[in-house]
Amino acid sequence: MLSEAEKEAVDRLALCMNLTRSGLLAKIVVDFVKATDASKEGRNAEKHVGAYLAECRAAAKKRGALADETLSAMKGKTQ
């Protein structure tokens, strides 16, 4: 289970990646679990995990401020 702070961090990254929270987590988990296999497919999945991490970093850098504004606006509407 995620804490509220962890949910907010995941939601922020999901917004940066144009995904839902569950979509982002599913993408990460599927590749991560595949990467635990010691086979060639597992090594390829490990490369995908690293590449996805780089993609997430770039998206957070590019769209992080907008995601912060969006999340702040959403909090204001729900409180």
Q: Encode pLDDT of 10-21 as tens digits.
A: 999 999 999 999
**Mean of all residue pLDDT scores within the chain:** 93
Give 39's DSSP letter: S
- The first and second tokens of residue 70, run together, are 């969006």
> What does the domain layout of the chain look like in residue ranges?
40-74
How many Cα neighbours within 13 Å face the side chain of 68?
6
Query: What is this structure's pTM?
Result: 0.84
pLDDT band at 78 (very low <50, low <70, confident <90, very high): low
**C-alpha span between 43 and 4 (Å, rounded):** 33
pLDDT of residue 33: 97
Question: Does the pLDDT of residue 37 top 80, yes or no?
Answer: yes
- The CA–CA distances, whole Å, from 42 to 46, 48, 53, 54, 65 equal 6, 10, 17, 19, 35
